Amino acid sequence: MFLYLAGAFALAQPPEVRVGVTQRPPKLDGKINPQEWAGAGIITDLTQADPKPGQPHAFRTRVYLLADRDHLYIGFHCVDPEPGRIAVHTRARDGEFSGDDHVGIFLDTYGDRRTGYGFRVNAAGARQDALIAGATDELSTDWNGIWDAHTARHADGWSAEVVIPARTLNFRHDGGAWGLNFVRWIARERVRLTWSSPVLDAMAWDMSRAGTLTGVEGLQQGRGLELTPYLLGRAPVAFGQGRRAYQMAGGADFGWRITPQLSAVITGNTDFADTEADLRQVNTTRFPLFFPERRQFFLEGSNQFEFGLGLGQNFIPFFSRRVGLVDGQQVPIDVGARLLGRAGNWNVALLNVQTRAIANVAATNLTAGRVSYDVTPEFRVGGLFTHGDPAEASDRNDSLYGTDAVYRTSKFRGNKNLQVGAWVAQSGRSRGQSGWGASVEYPNDRWFGYARVSHFGDNLEPKMGFLPRAGVTRYEGAGFWQPRPRRGRWGRWVRQSYHGAESEFVVNTAGKLETLVIRPSLIDMEFQSGDSLTVSLSPRYEFLPVPFAIADGVVLAPGSYPFLRQFAGWESSRFRAVRVQASVERGSFYNGHLDQYLADVNWTDPHGRLQLSVSAEINSGRLNGDQAIVQRVWQTRNVWSLNANLSMVSLFQYDSVSRQLGGNTRLQWFQRPNVEWSAVWNRGWRQMLRTRDLTLAPDAETFVVKLRYTLRR
């Protein structure tokens, strides 16, 4: 009873720490020198949040906080009773950290209890940074800020020192406190420690449950000016059409921090040649696939454009990938401007871009904006608009407007998460050009559920957004009981099991059921080792209003198709040096059958310097009686990292649909936090596997070298 009351009091009273002030910043070598950290604000330990909240543990963690006018310094001393078992699988920037021992810093610099920044460092010094858009959303790790970190190993564990320049952050400058949380992850035990709200129902980046950081009023952002020029050399070649051409290009981003919370950026001759390649996918649906945004200019502040609740990939009214890309072809950006930040309780995000005319694509001006207001720390209302058509010159009919309201609380029934949201959108004056939706979510550890309804009119057309399926109303729901066994043999082996089902109903505007999917969970469990097993049986129904060409020469006739799918999947713990993910989905499929196989094998050396992975996805079956369908995607991805600042990623992909092999090799070197070199080699081969000697016909090749330098004043 006493422990329960103590836990409830801890939830009601978030912890608070004051940052110490220094005139002599610590040397960034990963070693916690008591003299260098004298006067720091100190957190003496972190509390176990998972798997046994509040219970004692053997992993003492001491956190130090210092600041001068321009930087925030954070130090970690991480005690480990078995330092030889500290896990490291990567040294690359923004690598996969779930199998690595690491620490994390989460800052709510606006004090809005919603958005913020995340910084994570693993035991090898690899860095990962992210933007926080919501309490239960996954972190958007594609954002890259300017900051630095170093680590060191000790006889009793490891330590880390982190420096975050004030100019990397947008923040309130009225003397108000920031939200703050820390996390430490011990990979082999799968133990999560946090500073604030050590509960199973909250992720460490849930800023509504964050603690309080004071003493940051002395941080300054200088004149708020930032210049990032780049110089690029490109050597493309089209085989059979001439010799290799050599090209030089340059451009720049100029930033002005109008206020500590509001910043503007102007970009000129923007180039994305160093962007990581997309992963190829096979498609067995009649709707377009989703590929995430990877370009840094558009990722900065992308969390400010979040719209609605629970829409996922069903509807994104502003999808930045539409800007500068048309049908997979890059469209040059001559000039662009962006405004991001806060003013009081107002949140502002504006973007305007002028693209250049190229073959088959006209020059056009594209605009997107998002304005929201925090009525309370838990309730936000807002609006969003876009104007322009990336594929052709814009006219007044290429606009979309939307408004939304979202309520998020972590205090429902005392300390549970509850989210409620609603939205409407309009791309024209007619009823068919509108959409609306509502969602209720209960995202908690023991009980999880949601209910959503979304309507998309026949003619709703977000020219700068992503809407794979218009002219339908979607009904979605799920309910899961997710117990954590604590006693007996079951509790010894199983960390958590999941029992429930999710369903989806899609009805067209004529009231006809087009899609029905029910996914009951037969076996779904996560073991104490980190391995997981899933077995499910999914009855489905599809109505095709028009013929559907699912593959070359295989066309499904209009009509009703009930079928049944069976799924089994296994994923090994990410802590292991060799990790395996494999799944098979079989059963009837439309008027035939289809087997889908997925396998991925990943090996990492003990120091995280080399990662080798091979994956394959195969769809094989027969439809329309005897028509064969075979789709294959093979991928190999190799990562070599000398240290946390120098890495090379090599990705080769082949798919049997296009019969093309593509290679993308990217060398990235952060000479200093504000100086980045990159070299990218792209090579394509076409019409592979059409001859018995497996001849590779070269298609195109490009070699790019790029230098980016950021100067701040």
> Is 293 within a domain?
no
The pLDDT of 10-21, averaged and rounded, is: 81
Residue 177 has pLDDT above 50, yes or no: yes
Q: What is the pLDDT of residues 17-32, one digit of tens each?
A: 999 999 999 999 999 9
- Please name the residue that has the structure tokens 């502002």: 348
- The pLDDT value given to residue 122: 97
pLDDT top residue among 608 and 490: 608
pLDDT, residue 131, reads: 83
| pLDDT, position 546 | 94
Cβ partners under 8 Å of residue 244, min gap 6: 235, 236, 237
Q: In the predicted model, what is the mean pLDDT of the chain?
A: 90
Is 90 exceeded by the pLDDT of residue 520?
yes
Question: In this model, does residue 85 exceed pLDDT 80?
Answer: yes
Inside any domain, residue 466: no
pLDDT above 70 as % of the chain: 94
Instruction: Find residue 662's DSSP bridge partners.
Output: 653, 684
Work out the average pLDDT over 45-73: 96
Asked if residue 687 has pLDDT above 80, the reply is no
Structure-token pair, residue 363 = 């020059």
* pTM score: 0.88
Quote the pLDDT of residue 20: 96
pLDDT at 187 over 80: yes
The confidence band for 238, taking pLDDT boundaries of 50, 70 and 90, is low
Give a yes or no: residue 398 inside a domain.
no
Neighbours of 486 (CB within 10 A): 10
* pLDDT exceeds cutoff 70 at 169: yes
16 part of a folded domain: yes
Round to whole Å and give the CA distance between 113 and 196. 13
More confident: 154 or 360: 154
Is 71 among the domain residues? yes
- Confidence band (pLDDT; 50, 70, 90) for 688? low
- CATH at residue 100: 2.60.40.1190
Residue 403 counted as domain residue: no
Number of domains in the chain: 1
Mean pLDDT of 665-673: 92
Q: Is a pLDDT exceeding 90 seen at residue 119?
A: yes
1 falls in which pLDDT band (50, 70, 90)? very low
Please check the confidence at residue 134 and state whether its pLDDT lies above 90.
Answer: no
259-287 per-position pLDDT tens digit: 878 889 999 988 777 777 888 888 889 99
pLDDT over 50 (residue 6):
no
Of 47, 411, 396, 74, nearest to 194 by C-alpha is 47
Using omega within 30 degrees of 0 as the cis cutoff, is the peptide bond preceding 165 cis? no
pLDDT, position 125? 95
581: nearest Cα among 557, 560, 601: 601
Establish if 55 belongs to a structural domain. yes
Using the predicted structure, report yes or no on whether residue 612 has a pLDDT greater than 80. Answer: yes
The rounded percent of the chain whose pLDDT value lies above 90 is: 66
Between CA 577 and CA 293 the distance in angstroms is: 30
Predicted confidence (pLDDT) at residue 570 exceeds the cutoff of 90: yes
Work out the average pLDDT over 517-540: 95
Note down the domain range covering 193.
2-218
Tell me the average pLDDT across 503-519: 96
pLDDT at 486: 83
122 within domain boundaries: yes
**What number is the average pLDDT over the span 668-695?**
79
pLDDT at 8: 42
Q: How many CB atoms lie under 10 A from the CB of residue 123?
A: 25
